[in-house]
């Protein structure tokens, strides 16, 4: 006997993601999902960003397989940080976000940042309810990452090119990076930063404000 | 598809996906009084980041001990089709590059290729004499 089913396999995750998104929209709370390889500088970017956004009420949900190290670092700059340990899980999912939100005062926030597990593949597949994905790539991990991991760069609301201060030392081929990125996504804005020196942060913060303005209270 | 190192176990997202498939398959089987599930048909879009071989390994791990213990997972790939936001042309992108063959932009809406759909399951119902008198063999439409 054959039974037609025709169901989205990830409907359970997607349903929770939609509920998360509806809650964020109700509150007019912008939510960004930061995705990159391990070591690209997600935590460092967020640390410096949180310092600059001291007058705003921010929260961070950070995912790692193990340890609370990232939450400890972020906790120095922001009082609303929740560490999610996935054990062996290679990505965050919507249910983990829903659970993580219980630890923070969502109604009072201006920003929610989600630092995903370091991984350029799996996190892209799982909707968390965010308003946009931010893809990070550093100048020391290879300028050909966009064509190697196109899905992330195709779906990103912004690409942050980190460790820009190390570009001259690493021989980063900027021209090749942009040429290949534009074969995957012609439209996405690239913001070049150094979280260490602060270079590029004016543009990054301006992008954040512009993005925030696109998230209207429902 | 291949080239990814596989360690097995639940440290890959194919395991989450296989678990989700199993949950839905068993729910449908229960609703339709299937004693045994023999086949599961899955549609996976070409753009999904799922390694079929890894999914089959994961499926093998999750189906054991259930009415789907011997169910074969049939994977059908759905081709990727993109629509250019600049000139509206529809085309099949030459992954990993998304350039429009007409205008050269990589500014896309995905028309197909991102599906992850449990399409159909096949199985054996309860034995004759105990079966629901309204059920017949053959296709039965289920709401999506």
pLDDT (tens digit per residue) in B96-138: 999 999 999 999 999 999 999 999 999 998 765 555 555 444 4
Tell me the C-alpha distance between A12 and B40, whole Å: 19
Is residue B89 included in any domain, yes or no?
no
Interface of A to B at Cβ within 8 Å reads 1-13, 88-91, 93, 121-122, 124-126, 147-148, 150-151, 154, 182-187
B37 touches chain A (CB under 8 A): no
Task: State pLDDT tens for residues A141-152.
Answer: 999 999 999 999
pLDDT band at B6 (very low <50, low <70, confident <90, very high): very low
Higher pLDDT, B127 or A216: A216
pLDDT at A89: 84
pLDDT value at position A172? 97
Of B96, B11, B6, B113, which Cα lies nearest the Cα of B51?
Answer: B6
**Given this model, what pLDDT does residue A87 score?**
84
Domain range for B22 is: 11-79+113-123
Query: What residues of A are in contact with residue B140 (Cβ under 8 Å)?
Result: 1-4
Mean pLDDT for A69-97 is: 92
CATH code, domain with B17: 3.30.2320.50
Domains and CATH numbers, chain A: 11-214 (3.40.50.300)
Confidence of residue A86 (pLDDT cuts 50, 70, 90): confident
In this structure, are residues A68 and A119 in contact, taking their beta carbons and an 8 Å threshold? no
Is B127 touching A (CB cutoff 8 A)? no
Tell me the two tokens of residue A178.
């942009």
If one counts the domains in chain B, the total is 1
In a domain, B87, yes or no: no
pLDDT given at position B11: 55
Which residue from B12, B49, B140 is facing A3, i.e. has the nearest CB? Answer: B140
B48 in a domain, yes or no? yes
Task: Say yes or no to pLDDT of B5 above 50.
Answer: no
Residue at B103 is within a domain:
no
For the stretch A91-134, pLDDT in tens is 999 999 999 999 899 999 999 999 999 999 999 999 999 999 99
Looking at chain B, the whole-number percentage of residues with pLDDT higher than 70 is: 79
Q: What's the confidence (pLDDT) of residue B33?
A: 94
Note the pTM of the prediction, 2 decimals: 0.89
Which ipTM was obtained for this model?
A: 0.85
Classify residue A76 as exposed, middle or buried by CB count within 10 Å of its CB (0-12, 13-18, 19+): exposed
The mean pLDDT of A44-59, rounded to a whole number, is 96
Give the DSSP per-residue string, chain A. Answer: -EEEEEEETTHHHHHHHHHHHHHHHHHT--EEEEE-STTSSHHHHHHHHHHHTTTS-EEEEEEESS-SHHHHHHHTT-S-EEEEE-TT-SS--HHHHHHHHTTS-GGG-SEEEEE--S-SSHHHHS--S-SEEEEEEETTS-TTHHHHSHHHHHH-SEEEEE-GGGHHHHT--HHHHHHHHHHH-SS-EEEE--TTT-TTHHHHHHHHHHHHHH----
- Say if B57 falls within a structural domain: yes
CA dihedral A15, A16, A21, A27 (to 10 degrees): 130
Please report whether residue B44 resides in a domain: yes
- Cβ contacts of B3 within 8 Å, gap of 6 or more: none
Both structure tokens of A71? 């939450």
Q: Within a 10 A sphere around the Cβ of A27, how many other Cβ atoms?
A: 17
pLDDT at A182 over 80: yes
Q: Which of A156, A186, A190 to mutate to test the interface with B (most CBs of B within 10 A)?
A: A186
Q: Do A10 and B98 touch (CB under 8 A)?
A: no
B104, part of any domain: no
CA-to-CA distance for A30 and A21, rounded, in angstroms?
Answer: 10
As a whole number of Å, the CA-based R_g of chain B is 19
Residue B108 in any domain: the answer is no
Average pLDDT, chain B: 84
Cα A204 to its chain centre, rounded Å, is 13
More confident residue, B68 or B132: B68
């Amino acid at each position: 006997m054959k039974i037609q089913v025709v169901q989205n396999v990830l409907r359970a995750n997607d349903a929770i993601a939609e509920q998360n998104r509806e809650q964020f929209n109700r509150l007019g709370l912008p939510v960004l999902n930061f995705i990159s390889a391990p070591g690209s500088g997600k935590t460092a970017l967020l640390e410096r960003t949180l310092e600059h956004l001291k007058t705003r009420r921010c929260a961070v949900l950070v995912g790692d397989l193990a340890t609370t190290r990232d939450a400890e670092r972020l906790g120095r700059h922001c009082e609303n940080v929740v560490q999610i340990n996935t054990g062996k899980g290679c990505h965050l999912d919507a249910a983990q976000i829903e659970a993580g939100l219980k630890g923070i005062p969502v109604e009072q926030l201006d920003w929610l940042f989600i630092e995903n597990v370091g991984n350029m593949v799996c996190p892209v597949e799982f909707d968390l309810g965010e308003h946009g994905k931010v893809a990070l790539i550093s100048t020391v991990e290879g300028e050909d990452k966009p064509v190697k991991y196109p899905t992330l760069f195709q779906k990103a609301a912004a690409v942050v090119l980190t460790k820009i201060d190390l570009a001259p030392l690493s021989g980063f081929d900027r021209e090749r990076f942009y040429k290949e990125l534009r074969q995957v996504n012609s439209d996405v804005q690239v913001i070049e930063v150094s979280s260490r020196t602060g270079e590029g942060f004016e543009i990054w913060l301006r992008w954040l404000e512009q993005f925030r303005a696109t998230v209207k209270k429902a | 598809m291949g080239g990814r190192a596989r360690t097995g176990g639940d440290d890959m997202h194919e395991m989450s996906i296989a678990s989700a498939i199993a949950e839905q398959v068993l729910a449908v089987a229960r609703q339709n009084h299937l004693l045994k599930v023999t086949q599961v048909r899955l549609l996976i879009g070409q753009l999904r980041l799922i390694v079929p071989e890894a999914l089959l390994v994961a499926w093998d791990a999750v189906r054991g001990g259930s009415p789907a213990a011997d169910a074969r997972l049939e994977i059908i790939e759905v081709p990727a089709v993109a629509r250019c936001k600049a000139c509206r042309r529809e085309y099949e992108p030459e992954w990993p590059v998304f350039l429009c063959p007409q205008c050269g932009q990589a500014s896309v809406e995905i028309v197909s290729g991102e599906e992850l759909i449990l399409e159909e399951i096949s199985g054996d119902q309860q034995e004759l004499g105990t079966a629901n008198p309204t059920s017949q063999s053959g296709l039965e439409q289920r709401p999506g």
